[in-house]
Chain A
Amino acid sequence: MMGCWVLNEGLSIILVLSWLGVNLYLFIDTFYWYEEEESFHYTRVILGSTLAWARASALCLNFNCMLILIPISRNLISFIRGTSICCRGPWRRQLDKNLKFHKLVAYGIAVNATIHVVAHFFNLERYCWSQSKEAQGLLAALSKLGSTPNESYLNPIRTLPMNTTTELLRTIAGVTGLVISLALVLIMTSSTEFVRQASYELFWCTHHVFIVFFLSLAIHGMGRIVRGQTQDSLSLHNITFCRDRYAEWQTEAQCPVPQFSGKEPSAWKWILGPVVLYACERIIRFWRFQQEVVITKVVSHPSGVLELHMKKRGFKMAPGQYILVQCSAISSLEWHPFTLTSAPQEDFFSVHIRAAGDWTAALLEAFGAEGQALQEPWRLPRLAVDGPFGAALTDVFHYPVSVCIAAGIGVTPFAALLKSIWYKCSEAQTPLKLSKVYFYWICRDARAFEWFADLLLSLETRMSEQGKTHFLSYHIFLTGWDENQAVHIALHWDENTDVITGLKQKTFYGRPNWNNEFKQIAYSHPSSSIGVFFCGPKALSKTLQKMCRLYSSADPRGVHFYYNKESF
């Protein structure tokens, strides 16, 4: 049991530990370099260890800012997923966790930013103090350097400081640093789970402040205020000897005045690659936006669900993938994700959209879902489509047995999947590796998904026509009902078809007992690898992961459950 958990989770843990390890290595290595490096000796006289803290965290920030754009380059990830070079099995599953990695790197940026900002507060304070009247001795001598024409300065604060805030705002680094920090705080406060659920649009729009973040980051180091002694000066000026003879630097030939130069900005070198990559992503999206999308069919389902059939040139999809949809008539900047509910074998692609917020409600209204009048095709608003982007369900066909579990609206990716299974079964030529599919659907209100029940009904008939009734085994669980429904159900208990869905398989009431279900499946398929696919709320995801670990046997030849979660 432990072995399976290690296999399932092991690769994720290794990747996280590697990332942490690289961060720690960069931090500690840079820290000791700045603490011991000769050329920064005089800088350390003024600043102390906070120089090293600031520089070490700066390098980690560069590293993390480079990484953060990569997990959300969706086209890149889809591309990697498509090529099967390195991406079988466990590695493919890591690609599904791209958003988790994005969040992890964001936390890394936040921690390093805190260290960096605090260290620089100390640095600025010490620079200001060294330039003030109270400073004496070596500090004062170092700060005075640069006043005469053939001297280079060490202390970036050249005049008597008024207060540290004004000095901050006089430097490029200070102003951009403030802007970057503000941008980071705004992005993080609008990305908390609560705000994302309360208003996805706010999260999406505020997140675009990252453009300001990256621009400011690129020019942050341009002031070159991190100053160290030049190599030429070091060869002429022996620090250990001359350190205490600062009064004689101007006159004595043995200790010429030390010369300093600023460090070249390096942040842009780290972030250039990913920024260009992400810019390409957006260009691809813009190009896809220009492509024409033809709406071939609009179906308005009674429970506030809109089904759209569309066609686009060169559009190829796999079951479980999603697209980003934009409607200029509603908002020219917003792209919302929707799972594709059609199978790849069909000549159109479709999405089912439920009114769940501002944008979706406006869309339903624009397509005349509310009113009774039929819309003319030329009056329908123009849509733009980006994608399709990959998701876990393409792996369903790689397992001999698959268990698909959907909760509520999470059933949409499985619609495409089941349709695809239906088509694949009809083409009798290539035998599928997949031989059994268990499908669980848990929903509170069956009315919201009556469009899906239709699909199941036609699938049921098709399967029995083909003589493959045992291929698909589905269980519907209704978790919410009122008194009237209960009475109705009880009255029709003994009939052949289910009273809610009209299907031969009866609906169950209440939540499934996962222990029993998994036990049953493990018993029926004692030595197979079983893929478990889930789309729905987090709490249930945790339960299912636990079940997968519990019921996977320790024996490598025994039954193994592999958990895959769908997420946007």
Chain B
Amino acid sequence: MGQIEWAMWANEQALASGLILITGGIVATAGRFTQWYFGAYSIVAGVFVCLLEYPRGKRKKGSTMERWGQKYMTSVVKLFGPLTRNYYVRAVLHLLLSVPAGFLLATILGTACLAIASGIYLLAAVRGEQWTPIEPKPRERPQIGGTIKQPPTNPPPRPPAEARKKPSDEEAAAAGGPPGGPQANPIPVTDEVV
């Protein structure tokens, strides 16, 4: 299992734990269980964990499927720099967050799941993984005629073969490439490409 990026699984696990914490917290608060204030804490912790874990990190190799709408959270998570990049920090953070929820029955499953996620993040950190944000690729606008700096300097009608510099069959392959060598044109040529 050498090539597994454990952080990928840890991320899914932590996101699921966040949702479980929120659910348990709502149940405890709505039902007014004893010590329901732990439930309120659990909702807040769950929301925080979900927001932190929602943007997926970039895989080391291959392409990463982004979650829908994750780019908004990516910019926020990116702001914290090493705190969110480093998985040791995440492992400790998740472990600490999970402890108070363990005091209430309704959220104990969330505690267990988040603790497991913390363990997997620790494993990921030990193997040197890091969270890298998925940046949107800058869209390259196809420059129409961008590589054409100047029009062909030897358009037809051309002077006879001995004056030509290139053999004829190479013209079929290269398209729009700059021609070799200046040539005095018998007819003036204007650049029509914008």
Contact = CB atoms under 8 A, between A and B. Distances in A.
A487 B16 CA distance: 52
Given A163-B35, A190-B9, A198 B59 contact: yes
B147 interface: no
Contacts of A165: 102-105, 108
Nearest to B8: A198
A373 interface: no
B1 A181 contact: no
Q: How large is the interface on B (under 10, 10 to 19, 20 to 34, 35 or more residues)?
A: 35 or more
B68 to A, nearest CB: 13
Contacts of A114: 23
B2 A189 contact: no
Contact of A202 (B4, B31, B106): B4
B148 interface: no
B3 interface: yes
B11 to A, nearest CB: 9
Nearest to A491: B173
A307 B45 CA distance: 53
B118 interface: no
Contact of A186 (B13, B34, B106): B13
Interface in B1-48: 1-5, 8-9, 12-13, 16-17, 20, 23-24, 27-28, 31, 33-35
B112 to A, nearest CB: 6
B12 A164 contact: no
A236 interface: no
A54 to B, nearest CB: 13
Given A165-B104, A194-B8, A358-B1, A182 B33 contact: no
Given A125-B33, A182-B112, A185-B113, A358 B2 contact: yes
A397 B35 CA distance: 68
B108 A178 contact: yes
A168 B105 contact: yes
Nearest to B110: A185
A168 B3 CA distance: 40
A129 interface: yes
Nearest to A486: B173
B12 A122 contact: no
A38 interface: no
Nearest to A202: B4
Contacts of B105: 121, 124-125, 163-165, 168
A457 interface: no
B172 interface: yes
B79 interface: no
B3 A358 contact: yes
B109 interface: yes
Interface string A174-217: 00001001100110111011110011011001100000000000
A118 B9 contact: no
B125 interface: no
A199 B1 contact: yes
A508 to B, nearest CB: 19
Given A189-B12, A189-B13, A198 B5 contact: yes
B163 interface: no
Nearest to A179: B112
A490 interface: yes
A357 interface: yes
A117 B23 CA distance: 11
B113 A357 contact: no
13 contacts: A118-B23, A129-B34, A165-B104, A168-B105, A178-B108, A186-B13, A190-B12, A193-B65, A199-B3, A201-B1, A202-B9, A205-B1, A206-B9
Q: 6 tightest A-B contacts by CB? A: A164-B105, A199-B4, A189-B12, A189-B13, A487-B173, A121-B106
Given A168-B108, A194-B65, A202-B4, 19 more contacts: A121-B31, A121-B106, A124-B105, A125-B33, A128-B34, A164-B105, A165-B105, A190-B9, A190-B12, A193-B65, A195-B8, A198-B59, A199-B3, A201-B1, A202-B1, A206-B9, A486-B173, A487-B174, A490-B173
